Structure 1
């Protein structure tokens, strides 16, 4: 297919749907109707001659071909966005890569306090797992940090646990909980194995596996009673405290913390101030029930 015939509108609609996993959320991001997103994706499938989605209309999921295309499209659109020229606002600008869950559940609620102390500063957050050629700083999981980064600073000791809907957590034994359908996400594909290693638990075979595009979708699936997911404390704190989710095994500290990454050690007072701030914020956050401060 030549460049002049690339179905760009369909590719964009499909990428947004694949990232959110829901037509309604994709429509909201694109400021169009649910039906418009659906038509764009159907047109893309017709142009390519492959099925990118499967399942019932109210529960569409990506096909194997769709997963491969989505994995390629998101970084391409990120690179395109980063390459677009834009007028720089006055004042300091921190361009930061941060995966969606960490951004929405941990960073964004705290960010006003940082900006209050940096009058005129701006922060641009890109949903990406690590720095790239255009974005020098990132907040991400330690085991994903680039080995050649100029600076890697731990800022948040992450705690995680299997979480289930309250009804299942009260009625099932812990062993039965581990045999429930296992909810996983493409955002954190090894989260179950990392928890089992940290907890010293041997995982039994589950009764099934349900895969989601995004981490928070797996948490939503656990709350809806679809099975058991691994929840990071910062992501499920409100659900645990409200009783919507239970953690039958309690929380254990993850093998690797969340880290601040700077790919290039160029002088950047705003990035350095932000690094020091997230370290202080990470140290001051509340711990899960039953977990004490480090010795």
Structure 2
């Protein structure tokens, strides 16, 4: 039995968590009335928008409610003339462990093939203002894809990044295959997405995935400092710089994202996807049938 699968079976002291969450998947409850993010204006001139993912008991699993709240907050800050840049962060132990497994397991191919799977994830890439991800702990699966959508990534010394979707019979569905390739190159993108094994902050910096590494207690503060510097420049010029860089980075990216999205939806028509997610919830090794 592989070490990865063995890790997927082990229970932590909290019965609602399993160590497989360290591989980017979290079993969590459906939407609740409790807010799942926190927002505030920070910086000496209060010109930085700070968004914190705030589902500690669910390891910041990215359910539909959280993503809707995040999208709404991004729009609000983007339309606020007093804000020049934004910072998105999670907790000190976890940025986000990724997808809401109960939501994914409930999806059928007929539903998934007819919906826009990127709908709740596109707001970051639409932002006129720069967005910095301040990552501590694990950023896996959808959590890693969320960080990759940001313009700059700062990481704590213990941060880890990865795409473990292959372990449960699906593929990254929010830009993982496309952005890893563009940022780190084919070899690293293939290794991360085909093995499901995360990389460390040091490895992420070496391959260009992140900009800087800081002590855990300094990551958010340093991200805010950088956001303050950006906010002190001309908003027009900042937006032009961002557009210029993205015009090169995103050439053919949209086509790639659409193709990845089609393949992701197609996995929900396979028996292996159903078996992979069922085995995950039942804490057993999946039996692949290649069908």
TM range (shorter): under 0.3
Q: TM-score, normalised by structure 2?
A: 0.28
Tell me the TM-score normalized by structure 1: 0.28
Q: Which of 1 and 2 has greater Rg?
A: 1
